């Protein structure tokens, strides 16, 4: 969990100029509105490293090394991709892991916790299979029918795709419930 400014909601970067107020809350200097007493000033990095009560947070942000054994071509491709998109390979690997593995698993965990089981997610997947089956059966263009079959057989069953679509369904279910 990143630490956010309570005023502008932006996650802090190490060199952001911040202040620590009398309640030990960190606020951007540019977001400060004179409501509380200032205890300290500095960059986010300086303030976080100065006080013991930020120990937990420092631990979370600490970087550790991980050695990967990848073939040369993959390494070259990753480095090229990272350079092109102006990110580090570390950030690239992190983003891929979160998007394709961590986020889908967290969504499944949340549903399990909220609903006690995964029946609704299961039903949702089956409904999508049925729609795509019907769409493929009704498609006169065989080439397009094969695309729909591929979507149905390969992509819908990917957890990252299914959970992402389910979230859209969930959002609209909530909106319906509140009468919007």
> How far apart are alpha carbons 89 and 83 in whole angstroms?
9
For residue 105, list its beta bridge partners: none
Residue from the set 5, 128, 136, 156 that interacts with Zn ion by CB under 5 A: 5
| Residue 17 touching Zn ion (CB under 5 A) | no
| Residue 7 touching Zn ion (CB under 5 A) | yes
Residue from the set 3, 21, 25, 28 that interacts with Zn ion by CB under 5 A: 28
Contacts (Cβ under 8 Å, ≥6 apart) of 13: 44
Residue closer to Zn ion by CB (options 28, 167) is 28
| Residue 136 touching Zn ion (CB under 5 A) | no
Other CB atoms closer than 10 Å to residue 102's CB: what's the count?
Answer: 13
For residue 118, list its beta bridge partners: none
The count of residues interacting with Zn ion (CB under 5 A) is: 5
- Using DSSP bridges, classify how beta strands 26-28 and 38-43 pair: parallel, antiparallel or unpaired: unpaired
Other CB atoms closer than 10 Å to residue 20's CB: what's the count?
Answer: 20
Residue closer to Zn ion by CB (options 33, 116) is 33
Residue from the set 3, 25, 31, 57 that interacts with Zn ion by CB under 5 A: 31
Residue from the set 8, 17, 41, 154 that interacts with Zn ion by CB under 5 A: 8
Residues lying near Zn ion in the complex (CB under 5 A) are found at: 5, 7-8, 28, 31
């Amino acid at each position: 969990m990143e630490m956010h400014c309570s005023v502008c909601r932006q996650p802090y970067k190490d060199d952001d100029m911040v202040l620590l107020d009398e309640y030990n809350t960190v606020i951007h200097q540019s977001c400060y509105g004179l409501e509380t007493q200032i205890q300290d000033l500095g960059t986010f990095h300086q303030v976080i490293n100065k006080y013991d009560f930020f120990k937990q947070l420092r631990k979370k942000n600490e970087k550790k090394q991980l050695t990967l054994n990848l073939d040369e071509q993959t390494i070259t491709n990753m480095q090229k991709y990272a350079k092109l998109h102006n990110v580090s390979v570390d950030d690239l690997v992190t983003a891929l892991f979160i998007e394709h593995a961590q986020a889908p698993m967290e969504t499944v965990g949340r549903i399990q916790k909220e609903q006690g089981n995964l029946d609704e997610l299961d039903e949702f997947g089956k409904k999508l299979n049925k729609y795509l089956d019907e769409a493929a059966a009704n498609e006169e263009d065989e080439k397009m029918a094969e695309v729909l079959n591929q979507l149905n057989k390969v992509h819908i069953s990917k957890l990252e795709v299914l959970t992402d679509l389910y979230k859209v369904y969930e959002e609209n279910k909530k909106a319906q419930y509140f009468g919007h």
